[in-house]
Amino acid sequence: MRKIIKNSKYPGFVLQCNEQLVLDSGKTLDEFEIAYQTYGELNVNKSNAIFVCHALTGDQFPAEKNPITKKTGWWDLMIGPGKTIDTNKYFVICSNVLGGCVGTTGPNEINPKTNKIYGIEFPTITIQDMVRVQKILVDELKIDKLLSVVGGSMGSMQVLQWAATYPESLRSIISIAGALKHSAQNIAFDEAGRQSIMLDPNWKKGNYIIEDTKPENGLSVARMIAHITYLSDAAFQKKFGRNLQEKQDLSFGFDIDFQVESYLRYQGKSFVDRFDANSYLYMTRAMDYFDVSEQLIKNKESIIKNKIRFLVLSFTSDWLFPTKESRGIVSLLNSIGSLVSSAEVVSDRGHDSFLLDEPQLFKITSGFLKGIKL
């Protein structure tokens, strides 16, 4: 049984599913919830729906003030009235991913079998599991075919998984700053972050909520490690250089000397106030397991039959998901005869460029969407 209710904790809605969900690991969830938000109105033909997939630390609030941080939505520059994804024209859906920590079932939620917090007993998930749950939501909204599925970074992984798994359910995808699979370097960064969390004594073997502790130091360091990869060398240099933080001379100690150190510590500290440590473990693991190449090839006939249009975008200064990864996506899509366009956006701001004010990104994306008739 499925039921949509108003979200009592956050803005938006929750789809409650009292049904068994079989995961890629072979384990199951006997019931689960999907927290989501929508923007704009669904037209009569239900042909204007766009599903937006969030990145690792995102949530279902891309285009409004975040209820947790009170800051502007993470893609407010992209989504809204008159913007690239124009909510006067499109019906936008964004859900918190499976394993997340903003209302969708994840390790910080209650296990109905034990009536206790899942913690580390939550089953390992994959990007395909996340998309499987998103498809359940779209089905419940009675939308047969999405106009597009859009996302950057981990969102791009979900986008590509949609095309590989449910090609009959969408007309286009927009993959931004993504890859067909996680690289060894990115797996290494994820592992360093996970170890920083699990080696924090307050992690308590994943039971920190029950133990009333919080692995703040470990999660903060994990965020600092990841955030370094989101910017480019040029971005760091332009923003901070070797400028000192509110002092004239070096301290010759290990407190904050440089502005960049203060910035990273702030990023780490603010992150622990809004994100769950176990969710970070599960979601980075899902990214590590991601490899959609064979599935795209296997389902090429359906992709071609449904005439899915692909837009693949990258950024010149992105070293976390460099342009060569996007070229790999394009090469594979060309090899199976799909309809694919691509562009490399010039930016010196690194991987996070897809979240920032990049007019070229907006122009290309807007033009692509306008080319798809409602």
Active site residues: 153, 318, 351
User: Are the C-beta atoms of 177 and 153 separated by less than 8 Å?
Assistant: yes
The rounded Cα 58 to chain-centroid distance in angstroms is: 6
Contacts of 231 (CB under 8 A, 6+ apart): 239, 349, 350, 351, 352
* Lookup result for tokens 């901070």: 240
Q: Tokens for 103, please give them.
A: 């209302």
Measured in residues, the chain has a length of 374
The rounded Cα 320 to chain-centroid distance in angstroms is: 14
Q: Tokens for 287, please give them.
A: 């990214």
* Lookup result for tokens 């590989």: 164
129 vs 113: CA distance, rounded Å: 20
